[in-house]
Structure 1
Amino acid sequence: MLDFISKGGPILWVIMGLSVVALAIVIERLLYLRRISIDEEKLFLRIKTSLMEGHFSEALAICDQNISPFSTLFKVGIENRKQPEYLQRELLKDAASLESVNLERGLTTLGTISNISTLLGLLGTVTGTMRAFGVLGKFGAVSDPAALASGVAEALITTVGGLVVAIPVIMIYNYFVSRVNLIMTRLETQVNNLVSFISSYGGKEPDSAEEKPSKEA
């Protein structure tokens, strides 16, 4: 295996280094998406029930118990329930932008690696071919088959290496992008539901009114 890698030359080592970085990003993103996975419909129903009963502290506690972009934005909405609706939407929009940064973290690097790996494979093809033709130009004939084969091997191995890294990385990158887009779409839907609900129920309590006691109290 090491002999095969060494025949690929220094460019193949760079490609392998990029594959390690890509693997680390993929593992981190999978763990992150698993950690924030949540049934947002059920979460919104629990929060909605607490708000309808006037248990605002309980609704905030529910948000704190769940680590996800949905709970983060729900909390922002609840904390600013007395603000005008246009201001609520602006605050939620800002919070959603921050969450999108977390959701997209590492994806730019992943996309770059998929492109660079292909280009590095092509570069290896060129340098390997140049080495092979250099042997032919120097001796005028194939007097050193090993040297010629070394250049051809470098060209082929780096091409394969670049494609082996680029193809799965592109597929995984597209998967992550589709997941992020889906989460952001669902997030926008639930945020609109929350703002509409707060406008109807959650923001109507008088400033001086005492919060209703929670059932758990």
Structure 2
Amino acid sequence: MFSLIKSGGILMIPIILCGIAATYIIIERLLYFKNLRKNDSLLKLQLIAVLLKKDYEAATALCVACETPFSQVVQKAISVRNLEDKYLKEIVETEMEAVIPQYEHCLTLLGTIANISTLLGLFGTVTGNIKAFGVLGAGASMGNPAVLAGAIAEALVTTAAGLFVAIPSMIFSNYFTRLVNKEIVILESSVTEVVLKLTGHLL
């Protein structure tokens, strides 16, 4: 395996680094969204009970302990619950916009990694072919077969490695983007329900 990686040349270093970064981001986001759903589901059930009792201190404490975008918006809504409806709505909408980047954390970087990995693989293909043609141009017949094989290996290995990193990175980037859009819709719906309870429009 090491000899195969080594045959890809110096460009394998940034490709491997991209692969490590992409793997970290993918695992981190998968765990984040898994815990997000679990924590928010539990918080919603607990909020229903305390809001029916109008125990806003307990509701705030639950939100502080949860530490999710939903809990952050609800906490803000509770703190301004005595304002007029139109002002409360504006503040809550502003807070929702402020927490959206938490869903999108590192997703732009993941998409960038997918593009960079593809380009690095393509760059390796070009440099490998340049070396191969250089060997052919320098030799009488087929040049030095060992050097020629090394140049071709560099082109193929970097291309394969770049695609190996880029393809799953792109797939998960698109998956997380759709997931973020879904979570934002759920956030808006859940927050609206809580706000209606706070303002007395929903029992």
TM above 0.5, one fold?
yes
Structure 1 residues 69-105: Cα deviation after superposition (integer angstroms, max 9, x where no partner): 2221111111110112222222222222232111111
Structure 1 residues 38-76: Cα deviation after superposition (integer angstroms, max 9, x where no partner): 364663353244233222212222223323222211111
How far did residue 140 of structure 1 move? 4.0
Following superposition of structure 1 onto structure 2, how do residues 108-123 of structure 1 map, counting pairs within 5 Å? 108-123=108-123
Structure 2 match to 1:55: 55
Structure 2 match to 1:214: none
Q: TM-score, normalised by structure 1?
A: 0.85
Deviating above 4 A after TM superposition, structure 1's stretches of 4 or more consecutive aligned residues are 39-42
How far did residue 173 of structure 1 move? 1.4
Q: Which of these two proteins has the greater Rg computed from alpha carbons?
A: 1
Secondary structure in 2 matching 1:38: helix
Structure 2 match to 1:138: 138
How far did residue 135 of structure 1 move? 0.9
Asked whether 1:30 is paired with 2:30, we answer: yes
Structure 1 residues 142-197: Cα deviation after superposition (integer angstroms, max 9, x where no partner): 13111111111111111100111111111121222222111111001111222222
Instruction: Write the distance in 1 (CA, Å) between the matches of 2:3 and 2:41.
Output: 55
Amino acid corresponding to residue 84 of structure 2 in structure 1 = P
Asked whether 1:126 is paired with 2:126, we answer: yes
Secondary structure in 2 matching 1:72: helix
- Aligned 8 A contact 1:37 1:68 in 2: no
The share of aligned pairs that are identical, in percent, is: 38
Amino acid corresponding to residue 111 of structure 1 in structure 2 = G
Aligned length: 202
- C-alpha change, 1:201 and 1:42, in structure 2 (3 Å) is farther
Amino acid corresponding to residue 155 of structure 1 in structure 2 = A
Secondary structure in 2 matching 1:10: coil
Instruction: Write the distance in 2 (CA, Å) between the matches of 1:160 and 1:176.
Output: 24
Structure 2 match to 1:211: none
Q: Give the gaps of 5 or more residues in structure 2.
A: none
Following superposition of structure 1 onto structure 2, how do residues 57-136 of structure 1 map, counting pairs within 5 Å? 57-136=57-136
How far did residue 201 of structure 1 move? 5.6
- Aligned 8 A contact 1:85 1:195 in 2: no
- C-alpha change, 1:92 and 1:17, in structure 2 (3 Å) is same
Which has the larger displacement, 66-75 or 149-158? Answer: 66-75
Structure 2 match to 1:209: none
Secondary structure in 1 matching 2:165: helix
Asked whether 1:152 is paired with 2:152, we answer: yes
